[in-house]
Amino acid sequence: DLHSFPTRRSSDLEPDVEVLGTTFNVKARSGKTNVALLTDKIRIDYVDKAIINKPLVLAPGDYVEYKGKELLANKKMAKPAQVTAWTSGEISFTDATLKEIAETLRDRFGYTVMTEEAMLLDLKIEGDITVSNVADLLDVVATTLNVKIEQSANKHIAISK
């Protein structure tokens, strides 16, 4: 028998996620809710049926991303276990843009990231990155993207060409 339990949401504009299985990851940051399922099943629904009137049931390997009531992504994950890398202290990305890396630094580690030019945020590192700390991540970013990274003691990072 599977036991279900609802997750907590901060407003009616965010989806209800009812867990029908055991291995999953829910991340609500930067105004987005990401749900990744590794095993069993999850149903995503909204209290306000005017937003979405049909629940979405995820299968293992499924990933969805919402911003408020808008479904931004609904796809299969290439590397499902990567979404739970944070539980072992790892920082992990696949084909990440500098914008995605900066969001993680802000949301997960409390950094402020500024770029000299907005277009730098579109730079992308192809392939996998898995590191155990922020210093190693910044080294990978600087070397791979050929950018200059300056970090101050108060968790401020400036990135330039």
Say if residues 66 and 7 touch (Cβ distance below 8 Å).
no
What's this model's pTM, rounded to 2 decimal places?
0.70
User: Residues 115-143: pLDDT tens digits?
Assistant: 999 999 999 999 999 999 999 999 999 99
Long-range interactions of 129-132: CB distance < 8 A, separation 24+: 129/91, 129/92, 129/93, 129/94, 129/96, 130/85, 130/90, 130/91, 130/92, 130/93, 131/90, 131/91, 131/92, 132/89, 132/90, 132/91
User: Residues 4-62: pLDDT tens digits?
Assistant: 555 555 566 667 776 665 677 888 887 888 888 888 888 887 766 666 667 888 899 99
Of 53, 10, 45, nearest to 29 by C-alpha is: 10
